[in-house]
Amino acid sequence: MKRKKNKVNRLEPAIQEAGPVSSYPASLKEIDTHYCSGCGHGIVHRLICEVVDEFGIREKVIGVAPVGCAVIAYDYWDFDVTEAAHGRTPAVATGIKRVRPDNIVFTYQGDGDLAAIGTAEIIHTANRGENITVIFVNNGVYGMTGGQMAPTTLAGQKTDTTKSGRNLRREGYPIKILEMMAVLPGVKYLERVSVHSAQEVIRAKRAIKKAFKTQIDNKGFSMVEVLSMCPTYWDMTPIQAADRIKNDVSTFYPIGVVKSY
């Protein structure tokens, strides 16, 4: 009994920081989720809403939703959102931010959207130092289209298009976007986080908050890469998927701040 109490006490500051999870943030609509069980998108959606509410910027935010599993993100968020063509998300965000610099503009992109079809847009948006925030959800697979290889798929990982596992000689290497972007002077804040455990979720929220703060303070381009679970196309239970991030994914994609101002 005493031991149990101590355990709760150790977690208490973190839980307090996270706030009550039994209620919805004002920016998050109370609708049923379309995401698979164990998927990380719902957590990331919520974290963005919590951050938006804590900054009191719900009425100033304009989100840009990607093509991918999060294509209907606007169904969840109770602030202004537009869709964007696959990968062109940062270009759309650039257009919005340039004509409405007082609004807070962010993109929400998956690894296919950001690290494959939209590579040119993300690099050049970052290089121009656009004062926007990018939330990059990396689950190493194309979820919406049925589990094909993503640019971020790990070596040996089996997908719908790499049946025997990603072969580095044949399919190339998993891409580390944050590390590539760190060298660009227009980029002010980069952090990689994960949502595979309560503790990591709390860290992820801190990073998202820092990224939005970067924009609010008019510092320039900010981006958070969130390692996220896809139990469906990893062919795992949600718990196995969380363990995989802890043991494998975060080994290749190290969690932590990549660049800060």
By CB under 8 A, name the binding residues for another protein. 58-62, 64-65, 71-72, 74, 77-85, 88, 91-100, 103, 120-121, 123-124, 128
Query: d(Cα 216, Cα 55) in Å, to the nearest integer?
Result: 9
Token output for 154: 């790990």
The distance of closest approach from Cβ of residue 79 to another protein in the complex, given in angstroms and rounded to an integer, is 5
The distance of closest approach from Cβ of residue 150 to another protein in the complex, given in angstroms and rounded to an integer, is 20
The distance of closest approach from Cβ of residue 253 to another protein in the complex, given in angstroms and rounded to an integer, is 26
Query: d(Cα 216, Cα 150) in Å, to the nearest integer?
Result: 32
Helix, strand, or coil (residue 81):
strand
The distance of closest approach from Cβ of residue 49 to another protein in the complex, given in angstroms and rounded to an integer, is 12
Q: What's the N-to-C CA distance of the chain in angstroms?
A: 46
Query: d(Cα 44, Cα 184) in Å, to the nearest integer?
Result: 26
- Tell me the β-bridge partners of 80: 62
Residue closer to another protein (CB basis): 123 or 236: 123
- Tell me the β-bridge partners of 216: none
Residue closer to another protein (CB basis): 79 or 234: 79
Token output for 43: 């957590």
- Tell me the β-bridge partners of 139: none
Residue closer to another protein (CB basis): 7 or 29: 29
Residue closer to another protein (CB basis): 42 or 118: 118
The distance of closest approach from Cβ of residue 58 to another protein in the complex, given in angstroms and rounded to an integer, is 7
Residue closer to another protein (CB basis): 95 or 165: 95
Give the pairing type, strands 141-142 and 133-138.
Answer: unpaired
Residue closer to another protein (CB basis): 93 or 137: 93
The distance of closest approach from Cβ of residue 250 to another protein in the complex, given in angstroms and rounded to an integer, is 32
Query: d(Cα 198, Cα 50) in Å, to the nearest integer?
Result: 15
Cβ–Cβ contacts within 10 Å for residue 250, how many? Answer: 18
Query: d(Cα 205, Cα 135) in Å, to the nearest integer?
Result: 11
